[in-house]
Amino acid sequence: MSRRLRKPRQIMSHEFELDLAPLLAVMVKLVPVLLVSSAFMQVMIVETDLPQAVKEAIAQNNDKPKTTVQLEINKKSGIKVIVAKDGSQKVDQIAMKSESEYDLSGLHKFLQHVKAENPEVFRIEFAPDANVPYKDIVKIMDEVRRSRDKDVRFPMRNQNAGQSADQKDRAPASTDYMFPDVIFANMMDG
């Protein structure tokens, strides 16, 4: 009898009851709402603006970029990186890692160099062979779009010519995007 009396007093002094009922009520309502509305497969997009045949012709006449970077993707020999700068071409081959695996990290490293040398270029042209699977193209796009290393960043040139003095004093803005503007160069070829 004495034990029975002592026990409740202990609980009163050391613990307190947290009223979980409102919390539970909120959760019980929120969980079904989220379960119903949640998409278990999150779909995202990769933007590749196709150059319209005419549009491209006009753009090429007006402001032809001095430097172009092109990737030729071949299932057997790997990825060929062609950097054309002021009329001269530099071709580098990124060989396959194995029979069916592209050397993506090698490509990434190489493109970091290319981007560091040409920070003004944001466009990259893809020219995959006909038998290259779509998923490989998307994988390579992922490598190309932005730098994965946090410490590798590229300066951004200010587009506005008439910038104020205090803007000039500031450190140049930098970005981890390498070549976010992917276009398919060989799409219009026959």
Partner 1 sequence: MGYGRRRYSSKSHSSSTFGLNITSMTDMFTILLVFLLQSYSTSQVEINPVTGVSLPKSSTESNPVEGVRVSLSANELKIGERTIASLKEAQFNGADVDPNDSNFILPLFNELDKMSKENAAKDIAKGDKKKPEIEEGRILLQADQNLNYAVIRKVMYTASMAGFPKLKLATVVGD
Name the site residues for partner 1 (rule: CB under 8 A). 20, 23-24, 27-28, 30-31, 34-35, 37-53, 55, 128-135, 137-139, 141-142, 145, 184, 186-188, 190
CB of 53 to partner 1, least distance (A): 7
> Other CB atoms closer than 10 Å to residue 141's CB: what's the count?
17
- Cβ proximity of 124 and 114 under 8 Å: no
For partner 1, which is the closer residue by CB, 50 or 163? Answer: 50
d(Cα 12, Cα 82) in Å, to the nearest integer? 77
d(Cα 149, Cα 48) in Å, to the nearest integer? 24
CB of 7 to partner 1, least distance (A): 14
For partner 1, which is the closer residue by CB, 8 or 87? Answer: 8
For partner 1, which is the closer residue by CB, 81 or 143? Answer: 143
CB of 19 to partner 1, least distance (A): 11
The tokens of 148 are what?
């994965």
The CA-atom distances, in angstroms, between 124 and each of 54, 65, 77, 111, 178 are 19, 11, 20, 10, 9
CB of 175 to partner 1, least distance (A): 14
For partner 1, which is the closer residue by CB, 5 or 165? Answer: 5
